Amino acid sequence: MADAAKQISVTEKDGAVVVQFRESKILEDRVIQQLGGELRDLVQSKPGIKLVVDFTGVKYLSSAALGKLITLRRKVDQVGGKLKLCEITSEAMDMFRIAKLDEYFDICRDQSSAVAGMK
């Protein structure tokens, strides 16, 4: 059953929780809803989470996916955590800039600098 497949992979690195997406195009509503649920559950299970969302391999994301990221930031703030985004392609970064989200999110160049910034 494809719906049971996780949309994210989660690892820990130097005290930070690193999330990577399994899809290169985050466009379908079903995928976005599942992704939002997985991220919400992760944040709620770890108060004070230090979360790095790594966009390696993600080429496209919809405005609905950006909405889920905004919700994610609010949830992280509610539990007293930190959120950093990294490895965003120039195409995806254009979406963040157009929506003025490049100023809303803490965006790092690569995963190691995002993880290091959590200390």
Per-residue pLDDT of the chain (119 residues; tens, 9 = 90+): 344 589 999 999 999 999 999 999 999 999 999 999 999 999 999 999 999 999 999 998 999 999 999 999 999 999 999 999 999 999 899 989 999 999 999 999 999 999 999 98
> Residue 37: what pLDDT?
96
> Residue 26: what pLDDT?
93
CATH superfamily placement of domain 2-116: STAS domain (3.30.750.24)
pTM: 0.93
Give 36-44 contacts, CB < 8 A, sequence gap 24+: 36/68, 36/71, 36/72, 38/6, 38/7, 38/8, 39/8, 39/68, 39/72, 39/75, 40/71, 40/72, 40/75, 42/8, 42/10, 42/17, 43/72, 43/75, 43/76, 43/79, 43/81, 44/75, 44/79
Domain boundaries, the chain: 2-116
> Residue 16: what pLDDT?
97
